[in-house]
Amino acid sequence: MDMTSLLLLGLAALGIVSNNSPVTIAMVVLLLIRVLGLSQAFPWLEKYGLTIGIIILTIGVMTPLASGKISLQTVGQSFLHWKSLAAIGIGILVAYLGGRGAILMGNQPTVVAGLLIGTVIGVAFFKGVPVGPLIAAGILSLLIGKL
């Protein structure tokens, strides 16, 4: 077995040990793509995977609004409470950082490995969720002053 497959297997094991099914499932899917010789899928996944993931994440976040669990009145009231206003501000900041992060990851692919490893560690050991690479790259872009 090659080193990349062993790394994917190790990360899947880390997902199992940390009881984090998203990491486990992602690593097993990528490992299966490698083992089954479907490597032609990797360029497509690299190009569209992030966009598809963001679409699915957005659908999940917006479902309470679409289903009526969050009313239009509740949305309107979010502009009247300091916690909701803080949430809006933080949402804007995170979206901005994510945008910077996407640019940095495209312009400096050498940082991607470190961001991914950090994200997997954060997910596996600190009960995080794997949405961190874009935000981490955005924070990194602020620290190193590059886009």
pLDDT in tens, 32-70: 999 999 999 999 998 888 788 888 988 998 899 999 998
- The residue with greater pLDDT, 55 or 145, is 55
Nearest-angstrom CA–CA distance, 66 and 64:
6
Check residue 146 and give its pLDDT: 64
pTM equals 0.66
Cβ contacts of 22 within 8 Å, gap of 6 or more = 15, 123, 129, 130
Structure tokens at 10: 């190790």
**% of the chain at pLDDT higher than 90:** 22
